[in-house]
Amino acid sequence: MTRDEILATTSMPAFSPSYPRGPYRFCHREYLIITYETDPVALRRALPEPLEPHPDNLVFYEWMKMPDSSGFGDYEESGSGAFATYNGEPCNFSIQMYLDDEPPITAGREIWGFPKKWGQPRLKVMKDTLTGTLFYDDERVAMGTMTYKHESLAHDLASVRDGLLKLNVNLKILPDVDGTPKVAQLVGYRLQDVTVHGAWNGEGRLHLIPHVNCRVADLPVRRIVGARHMIVDFTLPFGEVLHDYLA
């Protein structure tokens, strides 16, 4: 391989790249998002400086089904995030994510710093209940349920779309060849070309099981605030460095 060929390669392994060059388009991506209040000490431990937690210590647990993702294919994902502020601006911070497809795990970690690991999430309708489960090494660690399409937001899809345009933030950490930090950044990005096909609110419940290598239960559920079901299209663009811890 020549130098130009190497520099034109989108990802490792160079002979068979894990993912193509972005940006990436997601069509009919389905969400179950359960918002809840958690322990403030646990939340502060999960949230990197200079981000500040929501005054009500609100976090969210979500399931996502991606049936049509350019470059990544068909997969599912589950994980937790926090409502926070960056320099006074509201944002969503990704804490941990588990999914069942190698290309988006690799691309997510290498490009944006998404906190992704391998897991077995599933989102499906069980009779009258929208149901999300997460298994880690065949052990169930999370289950979320929501009433199915009880409260339509068809009259307010513009507001739902505005919420999806919010700043999103990841903590990206990559080691150098000697094991010392090579990259330590807060990375920000905003979804683009968002279309909301449907959105619903309803009652939700969330059960998290402690596991040392899948620590979804480390942000305990104190009070369920609400649940939302959405189906959307959007483009995931490249991000920007908000804060460099090595500068």
* C-alpha dihedral sign at 167, 36, 198, 126: positive
Q: Are 129 and 148 in contact (CB under 8 A)?
A: yes
Question: Residue 45 in 3-state DSSP?
Answer: helix
Q: Are 183 and 228 in contact (CB under 8 A)?
A: no
Q: Where are the beta strands (DSSP E) in the chain?
A: 24-37, 52-53, 58-69, 73-86, 89-99, 116-118, 120-126, 129-136, 139-147, 151-152, 167-175, 181-189, 192-202, 204-208, 223-236, 240-244
* Known catalytic residue at 182: no
Q: Which of 116, 117, 124, 166 is catalytic?
A: 116
Q: Are 49 and 86 in contact (CB under 8 A)?
A: no
62 Cβ contact list (under 8 Å, min separation 6): 31, 32, 33, 34, 78, 79, 80, 81
| Phi, psi for 216 (deg, rounded to 5) | -65, -30
Per-residue burial over 196-225, b = 16 or more CB atoms within 10 Å of its CB, e = otherwise: bebbbbbebebebeebeebbbbbbebeeee
Would you please indicate which residues are annotated as catalytic (active-site) residues? 116
